[in-house]
């Protein structure tokens, strides 16, 4: 039977609890040579284990000359309270073995910490610490050592001490020998995976890795000696998880891009001297120490849906002249009424100092605007532990992000002069491309009308969220007289007829509205009219209709005055045998029709 003492408290160790073991992975700790005061952290993980006492034992190498071994870096402290799972509980303090005997056994360290009952410090029924989190911050002195690798042992030191946890269990009464319940301290099941200390000389190879070809891919499975330095006009893509000791981006005109779902990890710093560190929407930069963005440096973050790039660092230094760029490559939400809302996104975590001199403003893509109307009342907010940006997902039709769909938005569309011009690189949200298909067409104006917001003033995410109980049974009828749009009791203020096969090659359409299109694939009339009844679009179908399944090819969507949403009309077409007669201008026989499901 083992026994240990802490602050005069006697601990009896009995059989280990039958539960899943807690795990400590010490890992490889990369440190700089000839430098005192370097730290690393030790964590424990467990789904359910708790403890009232920890004995942490660490050893560098074989314990050093004091135990007949080889000299190595010294452990100068192990802080088991600050930010740890035990420090979060009332505790009786900690005892550091080497700290109480300075200079003795510098390569072996032992710390013990015990939680306590706030009423009776010696009561063993103390609060339990969850064994899932930080347990120690260890300080190491590598002075006198320029390179080398040493084992870092926590399982059992040369003093035959081990890293251990203890919890409290109740031993039920067993008269007559044990007439009452007793409390016992029990060893917690634990697995300790030892690690190592590796010294890396960061003065080596500072530019040897700098000559990357433009468009090169960086994929490092293990840390390397020295800094990775991006120089010249290179664009380097990190498209697989990469690990570095430190990274300097001195890449004027180019950038280092972390692809989606990938992580760029550094054990020390990332210093964006010039050029760009660009994080895709699910890309992460995990920085062991400091993320610095210099006067010529750019920190760029992509936003897409619920995701955005994120940099997590211990310290963050945003220097004078630094730049933040944001780009939305997808809407923050779907463009339903509930999606027209503000969101606050965290793009950097860490101990933040300074700020970006150059901040983004206005539209950043896909109807997403940087806004000062969100939760923080400013576009970019610098907090002690993070950097946040406030974003607005605008409603279709709100070209300038002022939370209104109004006449000035129609003017912006008209002034751009791109409506009906087909695909063009100039098309964007600000001039009417609300569905991001690189053109401004009837579908975009219909999206504006479908919000039901035009002229209603300032909107919120609750605006028009409930669709009125309205009749929406419009039909598109193909007949001997041509193509007819029947509102069927509704008042239509916009429509778009499309053909996937491009068979709208007949006569010019008899369109309505201020915005009209008439092409082989689209006929539309939107804005500035009300249709209550039938509209004869005319003989707009070409000779190819006999080769096309009209039900599968034609579709018509429309909007209704006073209602939000875009509706789909039922398409009524002749039976196949009747198509030939229709082409011959014969009488139209009985119709078959199919009602399409409304778009919600």
DSSP bridge pairs for 39: 139
Pairwise CA distance, residues 17 & 189, whole Å: 7
Provide the pLDDT confidence category of residue 246 given band limits of 50, 70 and 90.
confident
Q: Is the pLDDT of residue 505 over 60?
A: yes
The closest of 285, 244, 247 to 263, measured between CA atoms, is: 285
CB-based contact 421:382 (threshold 8 Å): no
Pairwise CA distance, residues 512 & 530, whole Å: 9
Higher pLDDT, 550 or 545: 550
User: What confidence score (pLDDT) does residue 446 get?
Assistant: 95
Q: Is the pLDDT of residue 107 over 50?
A: yes
User: What confidence score (pLDDT) does residue 576 get?
Assistant: 56
Residue 429 φ then ψ, to 5°:
-60, -40
Q: Is the pLDDT of residue 161 over 90?
A: no
Pairwise CA distance, residues 287 & 227, whole Å: 14
Pairwise CA distance, residues 558 & 569, whole Å: 7
The closest of 353, 358, 305 to 329, measured between CA atoms, is: 305
Q: What is the pLDDT of residues 320-352, one digit of tens each?
A: 999 999 999 999 977 666 778 899 999 999 999
Q: What is the pLDDT of residues 373-399, one digit of tens each?
A: 999 999 999 998 999 999 999 999 999
The closest of 73, 44, 56, 54 to 142, measured between CA atoms, is: 73
Q: Is the pLDDT of residue 20 over 90?
A: no
Provide the pLDDT confidence category of residue 480 given band limits of 50, 70 and 90.
confident
Strands 246-258 and 242-244, by their bridges, are: unpaired
Q: Is the pLDDT of residue 125 over 80?
A: no
Q: What is the pLDDT of residues 441-457, one digit of tens each?
A: 999 999 999 998 998 89
Residues with Cβ within 8 Å of residue 101, at least 6 apart in sequence: none
Q: What is the pLDDT of residues 140-153, one digit of tens each?
A: 999 999 888 999 99
Higher pLDDT, 528 or 175: 528
Residue 468: other Cβ atoms inside 10 A: 11
3-state secondary structure of 209: coil
Burial class (CB in 10 A: 0-12, 13-18, 19+), 105: buried
User: What confidence score (pLDDT) does residue 117 get?
Assistant: 61
CB-based contact 581:587 (threshold 8 Å): yes
The closest of 103, 316, 73, 76 to 198, measured between CA atoms, is: 73
User: What confidence score (pLDDT) does residue 389 get?
Assistant: 98
Q: What is the pLDDT of residues 266-321, one digit of tens each?
A: 777 888 888 889 999 999 999 988 999 999 999 999 999 999 999 999 899 999 99
Please count the residues of the chain: 600
- The pTM (predicted TM-score) of the whole model is 0.65
Strands 148-153 and 164-171, by their bridges, are: unpaired
Cα 131 to Cα 20, 40, 42, 95, 424: the distances in Å are 12, 19, 12, 20, 58
Widest CA span of the chain, in angstroms? Answer: 109
Cα 555 to Cα 474, 475, 498, 550: the distances in Å are 12, 10, 6, 9
Q: What is the mean pLDDT of residues 64-81?
A: 92
DSSP 8-state symbol, 190 = E
Q: Is the pLDDT of residue 181 over 80?
A: no
Q: What is the pLDDT of residues 393-431, one digit of tens each?
A: 999 999 999 999 999 999 999 999 999 999 999 999 999
Q: Is the pLDDT of residue 596 over 50?
A: no
Rg (CA), the chain: 35
Q: What is the mean pLDDT of residues 487-510?
A: 94
Pairwise CA distance, residues 351 & 348, whole Å: 10
**Fold for domain 3-199?**
Immunoglobulin-like (2.60.40)
User: What confidence score (pLDDT) does residue 149 get?
Assistant: 92
The closest of 423, 419, 421, 420 to 411, measured between CA atoms, is: 419
Q: Is the pLDDT of residue 227 over 80?
A: no
User: What confidence score (pLDDT) does residue 122 get?
Assistant: 47
Provide the pLDDT confidence category of residue 239 given band limits of 50, 70 and 90.
low
The closest of 398, 377, 380 to 389, measured between CA atoms, is: 380
The closest of 445, 432, 435, 419 to 527, measured between CA atoms, is: 445
Cα 199 to Cα 32, 40, 76, 471: the distances in Å are 5, 13, 17, 75
Cα 80 to Cα 86, 100, 110, 455: the distances in Å are 7, 15, 11, 62
Q: What is the pLDDT of residues 247-264, one digit of tens each?
A: 777 765 557 888 888 888
DSSP string of 130-151, one letter each residue: ESSEEEEEEEEE-TT-SSEEEE
Q: What is the mean pLDDT of residues 214-223?
A: 39
Q: What is the mean pLDDT of the chain?
A: 81
DSSP 8-state symbol, 56 = E
User: What confidence score (pLDDT) does residue 464 get?
Assistant: 59
Pairwise CA distance, residues 171 & 174, whole Å: 9
The closest of 305, 307, 288, 320 to 347, measured between CA atoms, is: 307
Q: What is the mean pLDDT of residues 109-132?
A: 73
Q: What is the pLDDT of residues 349-377, one digit of tens each?
A: 999 999 999 999 999 999 999 999 999 99
The tokens for 402 are 């002022």
């Amino acid at each position: 039977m083992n026994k240990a003492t802490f602050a005069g408290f006697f601990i009896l160790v009995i059989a280990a609890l039958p539960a899943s073991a807690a795990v400590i992975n010490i890992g490889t700790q990369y440190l700089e040579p000839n430098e005192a005061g370097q730290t690393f952290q030790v964590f424990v993980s467990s789904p359910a284990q708790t403890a009232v006492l920890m004995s942490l034992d660490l050893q560098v190498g074989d314990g050093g000359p004091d135990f007949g071994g080889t000299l190595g870096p010294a452990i100068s402290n192990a802080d088991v309270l600050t930010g740890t799972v035990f420090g979060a509980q009332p505790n009786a303090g900690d005892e550091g073995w080497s700290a109480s005997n300075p200079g003795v056994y510098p390569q072996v360290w032992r710390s013990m910490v015990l939680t306590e009952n706030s009423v009776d410090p010696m009561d063993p029924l103390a609060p339990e610490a969850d064994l899932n989190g930080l347990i120690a911050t260890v300080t190491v002195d590598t002075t006198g050592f320029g390179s080398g690798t040493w084992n870092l042992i926590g399982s059992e030191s040369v003093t035959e001490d081990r890293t251990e946890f203890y919890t409290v269990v109740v031993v039920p009464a067993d008269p007559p020998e044990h007439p009452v319940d007793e409390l016992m301290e029990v060893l917690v099941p634990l697995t300790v995976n030892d690690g190592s200390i590796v010294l890396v000389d960061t003065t080596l190879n500072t530019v040897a890795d700098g000559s990357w070809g433009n468009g090169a891919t960086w994929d490092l499975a293990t840390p390397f000696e020295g800094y990775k330095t991006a120089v010249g006009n290179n664009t380097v893509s990190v498209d697989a998880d990469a690990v570095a000791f430190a990274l300097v981006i001195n890449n004027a005109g180019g950038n280092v891009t972390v692809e989606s779902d990938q992580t760029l990890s550094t054990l020390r710093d990332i210093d964006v001297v010039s050029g760009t560190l660009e994080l895709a929407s699910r890309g992460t930069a995990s920085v062991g120490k400091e993320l610095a963005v210099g006067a010529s440096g750019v920190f760029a973050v992509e936003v897409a849906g619920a995701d955005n790039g994120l940099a997590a660092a211990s310290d963050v230094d945003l220097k004078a002249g630094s730049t933040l760029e944001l780009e939305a490559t997808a809407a923050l939400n779907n463009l339903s009424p509930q999606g027209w809302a503000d969101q606050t996104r965290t793009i950097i975590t860490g101990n933040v100092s300074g700020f970006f001199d150059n901040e983004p403003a206005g539209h950043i893509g896909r109807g997403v605007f940087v806004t000062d109307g969100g939760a923080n009342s400013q576009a970019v907010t610098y907090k002690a532990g993070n950097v946040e940006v406030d974003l607005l997902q605008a409603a279709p039709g709100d070209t300038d992000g002022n939370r209104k769909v109004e006449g000035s938005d129609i003017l912006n569309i008209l002034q751009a002069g791109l409506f009906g011009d087909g695909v063009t690189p100039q098309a964007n949200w600000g001039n009417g491309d609300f569905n991001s298909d690189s053109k401004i067409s009837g579908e975009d104006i219909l999206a504006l009308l479908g919000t039901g917001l035009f002229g209603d003033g300032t909107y919120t995410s609750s605006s028009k969220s409930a669709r009125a109980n309205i009749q929406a049974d419009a039909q598109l009828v193909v007949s001997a007289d041509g193509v007819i749009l029947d509102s069927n009791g509704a008042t239509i203020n916009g429509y778009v007829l499309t053909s996937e096969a491009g068979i709208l090659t007949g006569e010019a359409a008899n369109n309505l509205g201020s915005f009209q299109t008439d092409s082989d694939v689209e006929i539309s009339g939107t804005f500035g009219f009300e249709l209550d009844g039938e509209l004869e679009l005319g003989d707009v179908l070409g000779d190819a209709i006999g080769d096309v399944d009209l039900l599968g090819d034609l579709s018509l969507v429309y909007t209704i005055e006073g209602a939000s949403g875009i509706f789909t009309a039922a398409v009524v077409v002749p039976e196949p045998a009747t198509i030939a007669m229709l082409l011959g201008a014969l009488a139209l026989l009985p119709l078959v029709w199919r009602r399409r499901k409304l778009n919600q």
